[in-house]
Each structure stands twice: as C-alpha cells, then as structure tokens.
Amino acid sequence: MRTLGNSRVPVSALGFGAATLGNLFREVSDEAAHAAVDAAWAAGVRYFDTAPHYGLGLSERRLGEALRGRPRDSYTLSTKVGRLLLPGGTGGMDSGFAVPADQHRVWDFSADGVRRSIEDSLTRLGLDRIDVVYLHDADECGDDGAQALSEAYPALERLRAEGVVGAIGAGMNQVAPLERYVTETDADVVLCAGRYSLLDQRAGLSLLPEALRRGRSVVVGGVFNSGLLADPQPGATYDYKAAPVDLLGRALRIKKIAESHGVPLRAAALDFPFRHPAVASVLVGMRSAAEAADAAAMLAVEVPDELWDELREEGLMTL
C-alpha cells in the first residue's frame, strides 16, 4: 500500500480498472462483474477505479453494488468528472460500451458540473463518499483543457479542503496535459493511461521524474496497451485499434526475451511501471474472476534485472 502524493489516501499496488464492468467492447453479466470484484478483493486489491463514462454509469452501479457490503474504510475508490450523463440517446454500441444508449454524455468542466457529477456518481455507487476524483480526458473536450484547469480543478481543490474527497488529480491518455497538472497545480496524483508501458515509455521522460521531484503520485493504466502486451498475435489491439505490424513484431520480441527468463509477458508488462518510484499503483481491467486472479498472479512473479538489461541491450526498452 502507498499513499497518493501528500494525501492520506492509500492505494494497493494492483488496482481494479472498472471500465470492463461497463461492458467495454462486450457484455459482462452482473454475476461475472461481481465475481471479478470478489476475486480481486481476495487477491488483496484495495483500490478500485471507475467513471461515469464507463457504460453510461453501469460501471459505477456495478462496482458500488459489489463493494457495498465491505467496510468503507478498507478500500479506496476513485471516479472521474468532466462528463455529465443526461437522458436520451441514439441506441447501439455507445463509445465502445455494449449498453443501451438511453443516456448521452455532455462535456462539463464547470465548477457546478463537477459538484453535480460527484453527486450523480454517489447516487449510482450507493456509497457515502468518493476517495479520489480525477478530471477525465480534459484534453479531448475541445478547448485544450482550458475550462478543466481554470474551473474544474479549483472546484476539486475546494472539495478536498472541505474534506468531501481525499485526493484529486487528472486522468488522460496524453503526457503533456498531465505534466501541466504536476507542475502548475497542487494535484495529489495523475492517472496516465497507455503512455508508460513496455511499448510506450513517453511518460518516463519527464512526467514521472517531475512527479517524483514534486512529491506527486502517478497511477498507470493501460499497461497492456489494450491487449497487445497481454497476448501478441495477429488481430491484437494497440490503443483500441488493430496493432500495426511493426508493434506486433516488437511485442513478440519482448515476449520471447521475457519467456527466456521464465517470465510471462503479462508479468513483465505489469512489473515494468513499478521500476519508477513515482508510480503508486497500476490499474488492470478485470471482467471475470479468472482475469482478476491472473492479474494478481502475474504481479507476484519475480522479474530478474537481467530481463530488463537484455531488453535495453536489444533496443526494446529505452528507460
């Protein structure tokens, strides 16, 4: 367990990324979703991350139901703000989530929007508080994140000062906007998705060193780059699209070297982010009890330094 930045909010090394519980790409039954949370809990996971965006609130509802019977002080829950859910939709697959589109998302990084989003999330979760709140995808909302930085972030600071939330930050898929929150704000943590993995180490160039220097934490998501580093084969996805041939070849080379050291590729991919001391937790999507157990087992694998040395020698790892 580590705490986030200067806050008192603890997180487990392995975190539960609950986008899967919102039917990301395919449906998950209520029973399988609950079993995934139960298995993760049994494996020691105590940090759970969700968002209104994930399945139009389905992820929040399912996660809240699965956690509701557990002591509230025994786990950490994070969700996100920036998108409000309003009635009415167009139907069909919704932004990659297999859910009825009976609602639609509206960008809102105003101060009022932040408070309303948190209130709505608490209702869906059915819990008494949220421990960590991230500004979600502020770089994608059309104004280069200006409103998020000028209105939403100060609103989060006020909520933290009031004790409504324990830690605040921003979560995005790009490095440069996250660096602004590390260098220009008093955020406790940033969530960096997909940019600190065995295939993409951009966050290690300046974001992570700057976070460490300033006492901020980094939570890393997307360590499998949406699938390629979990099972590299033709048809595998990278950043939710078909993986380019050159990246597939690179992943296969990494897999061969990892296995020559007795390490499954998934274990190497999970272990890699923790080589940087700014990283507090790694989020992994788990849609079943088997996936939760596998993630915990992979994180427990001891990865020898010789593996990292060989990857650097072969030009497959730059940091």
| Residues catalogued as catalytic | 54
Q: Which of 264-302 are b and which e, b meaning 16 or more Cβ less than 10 Å from the residue's Cβ?
A: bbbbbbbbbbeebebbbbbbbbbbbbebbbbbbebbeee
Contact 28, 57 (CB under 8 A): no
- The tally of CA atoms less than 13 A away on the side-chain side of residue 214 is 21
Total number of residues shown for the chain: 319
**How many CB atoms are located within 10 Å of the residue 103 CB?**
17
Mark out the alpha helices in the chain (DSSP H runs).
30-42, 58-67, 111-125, 146-147, 153-161, 175-184, 207-214, 245-260, 265-271, 289-299, 305-313
Of 89, 80, 39, nearest to 59 by C-alpha is 80
With a CB cutoff of 8 Å and minimum separation 6, the contacts of 7 are 166, 167, 188, 189
Alpha-carbon dihedral of residues 156, 160, 161, 164, nearest 10 degrees? 110
The three-state secondary structure class of 22 is helix
The one-letter code for the residue type at 69 is G
